[in-house]
Amino acid sequence: MAISARGPTATVGRCSTDPALTVDDLGPLSEEGDAQRSHPALTVELGQAELQITGRLLQASNATFLAELLVDGAPIECVYKPLEGERPLWDFPHRTLGFREVAAYQVSRIGGFDCVPVTVLADGPFGLGSLQVWVDVDDAATDKLVDLVPSSAVPKQGWFTSVEGLDANDRPVSVIHADVADLRLLAVFDVLINNADRKGGHILSSAGQVFGVDHGLSFHTDHKLRTLLWGWAGSELTPREVAAVRKARDEAPDQLSTLLSDREISALVHRAELLLSRRRLPRPRGEWPSIPWPPF
């Protein structure tokens, strides 16, 4: 079945009164001034092509399909989530999670976070939905980002403990995450988009790049941040992180009008302003669970 994969078109962002970004702030830049992205999941182009369903992820809470997008005869593996397959939620408007997936990609791309694989809206076999490039995961490297270990075996350096509990045999165990710059940038990104579901299984490593997936539960106007990445809570933002938040604040809203409501876009800008004024990652709040469950 032929599909049309599409995303918001580029427009000129709003001017900022903050100091200009530098190469050191954003990392290596292209000739066009954008941060260079080399991983295939960040550079592939999804356009008009033939989409074939190849399988289904049965463990997903919403209808989620494995698919191949045939571009110039070459297959690109993707994850297709039709809006019609979203189960109703009490706190998020129905049939909007796919739009939020695409919005998360746009914020990641524009800000230079580069932590979300290419994601577009697609008219697929089961209707409109999100289509995201599949990431070939390095399992060993992913285990070095987030892991479940006996509490007595938590490394003394380079790791933070997120959750402590008991296993099936009543032995103490801990969910831990690494003190890694790219993972920390993902934590900043989650604060910005108000991610309500950053589980360990949504954090991937591939070819040295840290990715986050499953961003449907994001961009709510109420505070709903739930994540395992609390190890840097209260710490000061780095220049790289400040630059990414600033760029997303200045340029992303113009790209999101077809994906989010005006109030959700305003809330995104407000969260960015808070990060830029406080220059620190937030701490957990008491009125909302701070850890997703289950954590993986």
- Low-confidence winner among 58-72, 87-101, 271-285 (lowest mean pLDDT): 58-72
What is the share, in percent, of the chain residues with pLDDT greater than 70? 88
pTM of the model: 0.87
CA distance 151 to 252: 41
Q: What is the pLDDT of residue 45?
A: 86
Structure tokens, 144: 């070095």
Give the burial string for 89-118 (b: 16+ CB within 10 Å, else e).
Answer: eeebeebbbbbbbbbbbbbbbbbbbbbbbb
Both structure tokens of 70: 């045939």
Check pLDDT > 50 for residue 12: no
Q: What is the pLDDT of residue 2?
A: 40
pLDDT confidence bin for 224, thresholds 50/70/90: very high
Do 154 and 221 touch, CB atoms closer than 8 A?
Answer: no
Find out whether 219 and 100 touch, Cβ atoms under 8 Å. yes
Q: Quote the mean pLDDT of the chain.
A: 87
More confident residue, 241 or 11: 241
Given this model, what pLDDT does residue 37 score? Answer: 59
On the question of pLDDT at 17 being above 80, the answer is no
**Tell me, what's the pLDDT at 59?**
86
Predicted pLDDT at 296: 83
Alpha helix positions (H), 64-178? 97-111, 139-143
Segment 79-96 mean pLDDT: 94
